[in-house]
Amino acid sequence: MPAALLALAISAFGIGTTEFVIMGLLPEVAADFGVSIPSAGLLISGYALGVVVGAPLLTALASRVPRKTVLVALMGLFIAGNVLSALAPGYGLLMTGRVVAALAHGAFFGVGSVVAASLVAPAKQAGAIALMFTGLTVANVLGVPAGTALGQAFGWRSTFWVVSALGVVGAIGILTLVPHQEPSPGAGLRGELAVFRRPQVWLALVMTALGFAGVFASFTYIAPMMTEVAGFSSGAVTWLLVLFGAGLFAGNLLGGKAADRKLMPSLYVILAALALVLVAFVFTAHAKVPAAITIALFGAAGFATVPPLQARVLAKAEGAPALASAANIAAFNLGNAGGAWLGGQAIDAGLGYTAPNWIGAALAAAGLAVALVSGLLDRRSAASFSAGERVLVP
């Protein structure tokens, strides 16, 4: 794999850390600004909204700009948002800094996926995307726990200063290692928008939203599930999240390798596995050892979906893939928000802390159904093309 992928992975590590580390720093932020924990929790929602808005908007605005320039500019925006967060004298400016950093998030992963795929042969594109997203998985395993510990020891602002420094390292790596790339010949806002006329692009976005909604329906409530149902202490949750993160790391790499061999069959298997693991989690959540094992499997199945889902969008948006790729990042975040909301509704309805696993399994199964429909359309299209060729041959 080219060294340029390392620069993309480092940048992804910084972005992933700043997205999730705030979860561990909510008490410190709330105490510093004199707001409630739920109000501080809106910093997570604000970030997610920034990703959803920024991913397609910034990608569309930069559709005719060389991709390397776009990536460096996005890292500059990311750095600015984190510096503003570190300096924020009040809650409002901290929220502003979070949103500014989030605007870069979706566009970076969207354009970065296109760049990563372009650096390797077609048969290795999903693996290249997986390697870039490895930075995001390592952020969950190492970056978030380390950032939380740093913020608790030296104040939450120190975490944002370190993340800003990571952004600088990533930007320098992109400047140094990523080759110059002009936009696709079909690029430009009109060309990028034109790919959304293709039904397969929309099917790919829907399966992404449903698949990741399944992940976050359960994952959002993993802490109360483990403490109230499995019987773990609150202090053990950190180590369970590290176990989940290790599953993410392994699943991401395995998903990329599988997708490079056979994209759609891999996606069928992974989405089916995710649904089955979540069904099993309903029952294994009642005992510590089975619950811990299932958490690792859940992380692996959940993030194994990412490379094939992103590769599917790139394949179906061929010719002008940047905006569709960024829209897929927005679809991931819409899935995050929607899944978390549905899981919460199940708990509020009095169905218990394991009920989100049923919701997640149903969402993953719905994603699998969409994938099967998309694959069927592929086969019909291939059959029609083959029949047309036979007609043309004397």
Highest mean pLDDT among 109-113, 141-145, 206-210: 206-210
Q: What percent of the chain has pLDDT over 70?
A: 93
Once rounded to an integer, what is the mean pLDDT over residues 314-318?
81
> Which of these, 164, 54, 194, 170, lies nearest to 110 by C-alpha position?
54
Whether the pLDDT of residue 40 is over 70: the answer is yes
Q: In terms of Cα–Cα distance, which of 75, 67, 56 is closest to 12? A: 75
Q: Would the pLDDT of 41 be above 60?
A: yes
The Cα–Cα gap between 2 and 193 comes to 30
Confidence at residue 393, expressed as pLDDT on a 0 to 100 scale: 43
Q: What does the mean pLDDT of the chain come to?
A: 85
pLDDT value of residue 195: 78
The pLDDT value recorded for residue 387 is 52
**CA–CA dist 167, 284 (Å, integer):** 40
What is the C-alpha to C-alpha distance for residues 45 and 216, in angstroms, rounded to an integer? 14
Could you give the angle at the alpha carbon of 24 between the alpha carbons of 20 and 28, nearest 5°? 125
Residue with tokens 């958490």: 295
230-252 residue pLDDT tens: 888 877 877 887 888 888 888 88
Domains of the chain: 1-183 (1.20.1250.20), 194-394 (1.20.1250.20)
- The answer to pTM > 0.75 is yes
Q: Which amino acid is at 320?
A: A
Q: What is the pLDDT averaged over residues 317-330?
A: 77
